[in-house]
Amino acid sequence: MSYKVAIVGATGAVGLEMLKILEQRQFPIQELRLLASHRSASKKLLFNGEQLTVQELTPASLQGCEIILSSAGAAVSREFVPHAQKCGAVVIDNTSAFRMEPNVPLVVPEVNPQRVTDHQGIIANPNCSTIQMVVALKPIHDAAKIRRIVASTYQAVSGKGLRAMTELEQQTRAVLNNEKVVCKEFPYQIAFNLIPHIDNFQENNYTKEEMKMVLETQKIFEDYSLRVTATTVRVPVFRCHSEAINIETERKITVAEVREILTHAPGVKVVDDPKNNQYPMPVDVTGKDEVFVGRIREDISIEKGIDMWVVADQLRKGAALNAIQIAEILISHKGTIHHV
């Protein structure tokens, strides 16, 4: 059986990655619609050797679609998802618009695939930094119950989109050529710099990005007693987010046990050989589907603590791939494409 699929935000960084992954994984498509803003309409994108024309996103453009992969921003999702629901489509939404809604499942297929079928026309894709963290931590949580998570992220500019990637390239050239640095996508120069500020600051002085990691992790694990804190930092890397993660568990767990658990965990690849300087890095992880884990060690400051280093391609597993994996689970369960 094949399906009528639409990508909303098809010309953005995540939309283009979705297009690539749908082709790579041979998703069963009867019809594919590429939808974007008015200014991107009429562009041509290649899919399975065929040039497809991008259409303007309107309520009418969603008619007849069965699965909609949305990555065009929260405001766009809030406007158009209700139209998609009325059409009977299931929206897999990569924005923050519906993630914390109680009746919207927030899904990472390696972690809580059972939640996919419990939808009312919307399934939310978590934040990219949350996705890679929970893929690495859920197997440990199942084995030893994590009580507290401290995460520090080093997030690539591609998390902010194609224009941000272009800005890093332009700023890097400007600095090296002793020219004026122009800042549009970021509040400060990102080339040769770090910015400890992703998304808006909240009343508690955490940023929205940091609070996403806190609240989404609790919802995905279905454990609101879990204590989570995060510091999210933008770094001058084009692609792949890195995270330094510290956990405290209820039961003492050894490094050997963590390595054994993660070696057999779905979607995880362990690269952890300190003697030979082997650990995950963005340059090696770019374009890969797995969440890579290394630098696994006992925390010498507390009795039941583990430190680790986690790297993933946030355009793939942190966004496009996760959404398509959700769609694959959806079509594998007869009847879950349609909703009342």
**Residue ranges of the chain that CATH labels 3.40.50.720:** 3-126+319-332
Q: Check residue 335 and give its pLDDT.
A: 56
Active-site annotation holds for 240: no
Q: Check residue 333 and give its pLDDT.
A: 84
Q: How many CB atoms lie within 10 A of CB 188?
A: 11
**pTM of the predicted protein model:** 0.95
Contacts for 77 with CB less than 8 Å, ≥ 6 apart: 8, 70, 91, 93, 95, 97, 98
| Chunked mean pLDDT (size 10), the chain, 340 residues | 95 96 97 94 94 95 96 92 91 95 97 94 97 98 98 97 96 98 97 97 98 98 97 98 98 98 98 98 97 98 98 97 97 67
3-state helix, strand, coil in the chain (%, to 5): 35, 25, 40
Active-site annotation holds for 241: yes
Topology of domain 130-314 in CATH is Dihydrodipicolinate Reductase; domain 2 (3.30.360)
Q: Check residue 178 and give its pLDDT.
A: 98
Total residues belonging to the chain: 340
Kindly write down the DSSP assignment for every residue of 191-229, as one continuous string: TT--B---S-B-TTS-BHHHHHHHHHHHHHHT-TT-EEE
- The catalytic position among 83, 119, 141, 241 is 241
Q: What CATH code would you report for 3-126+319-332?
A: 3.40.50.720
- The catalytic position among 65, 83, 119, 128 is 128
**Residue ranges of the chain that CATH labels 3.30.360.10:** 130-314
